[in-house]
Amino acid sequence: MTNYRRLYDEISKPAYAGMTDAEIADALNAATTARQRVTIGDLQARAMETGVYTALRVAVASDRTPADLRAVCQTVLDLASARFADVDLDSPASVQMFDTLAQAGVVTQQQAAAIDALADVVRPSWSQSNLGADVTEADIAAARLWVDYDVLRSRLATGYNDAVALVDAGLAAGRLPAWADIVALVEAA
């Protein structure tokens, strides 16, 4: 069962204005990817798994590696064994180092991409996070009507309670109210 109140509250936001129900459902069901800092431990593990660590060691040890490229390789090796907790792979220095290594052929594009992917974090969709399931176009349509249902439910409850009170008062007075009076009370709610 979808929580239509929560869904209504979300789709009432300005971000969804002018969207069709299908577009809103797609937006609410879409997972997003954000970037995060990468722990040095994860960086070390991925560098080992993909052969980057070995490629860097070979490049540093080779006399054929230009000095400036050897310095970049050593910097990345030092980074992978750093004593700080994490690294920002999106910082200009990190981007430049890995681009240089890929362009020089020290690491492949796939290896560089595998390292870069460490910073990606997939965030579940709004619907999965807030409702535990994807929503459909029909759910969006039902949520749009939810306020009307709430109003109707409230009116019905009020009318029922008023009618019962009228009947109880009539019984206490020793006479039943007219049926038309009961119906009028329910309809007026």
How does pLDDT run across 100-158, given as a tens digit for each residue? 999 999 999 999 999 999 999 999 999 999 999 999 999 999 998 887 887 888 888 88
Mark whether 86 and 104 lie in a shared domain: yes
Average predicted confidence (pLDDT) for the chain: 91
Using CA atoms, how far apart are residues 40 and 53, in angstroms rounded to an integer? 13
The Cα 38–Cα 115 span in angstroms is: 10
Token pair in block for residue 20: 């069709």
Distance CA 99, CA 113 (A): 10
Which of 46, 161, 141, 133 is CA-nearest to residue 98?
46
Percentage of the chain modeled with pLDDT above 90:
66
- CB neighbours of residue 80 within 10 Å: 20
pTM equals: 0.59
Q: Indicate whether 55 and 21 sit together in one domain.
A: no
72 with 21, same domain: the answer is: no
DSSP for residue 117? G
| Pairing mode of beta strands 38-39, 32-35 | unpaired
Q: Determine which of 27-36, 72-81, 88-97, 111-120 has the lowest per-residue pLDDT on average.
A: 72-81
Are both 182 and 101 inside the same structural domain? Answer: no
Q: How remote is the C-alpha of 115 from its chain's centroid?
A: 23
How large is the average pLDDT for residues 162-176? 89
Are 160 and 148 within one domain?
A: yes
Q: Are residues 102 and 140 in the same domain?
A: no
pLDDT at position 181 is 86
Final residue of a structural domain among 100, 123, 146: 123
- 59's tokens: 């490049």
Half-sphere exposure of 133 (CA within 13 A, CB side): 7
pLDDT at 156: 86
Same domain, 166 and 116: no
pLDDT of 45-56, one tens digit each?
Answer: 999 999 999 999
The residue ranking higher by pLDDT, 127 or 83, is 127
Q: What is the pLDDT of residue 107?
A: 93
Determine the pLDDT at residue 148.
80
Picking from 47, 40, 10, the residue whose alpha carbon sits closest to that of residue 27 is: 10
Question: Which range of residues forms the domain containing residue 174?
Answer: 4-31+126-188
Q: What is the pLDDT of residue 80?
A: 77
| pLDDT tens digits along 126-141 | 999 999 999 999 999 9
Overall domain count for the chain: 2
Residues 140 and 165 occupy one common structural domain? yes
171 and 98 in a single domain? The answer is no
The Cα–Cα gap between 168 and 154 comes to 21
- Let me know whether 38 and 119 are in one domain: yes
Most confident of 21-35, 136-150, 163-177: 21-35
pLDDT for the residue 1: 56
Q: Which of 107, 123, 139 is the last residue of a domain?
A: 123
| Average pLDDT value for residue range 56-62 | 94
Integer Cα distance of 151 and 27 in angstroms: 28
One domain, residues 40 and 118: yes
> Do residues 163 and 183 both lie within one domain?
yes
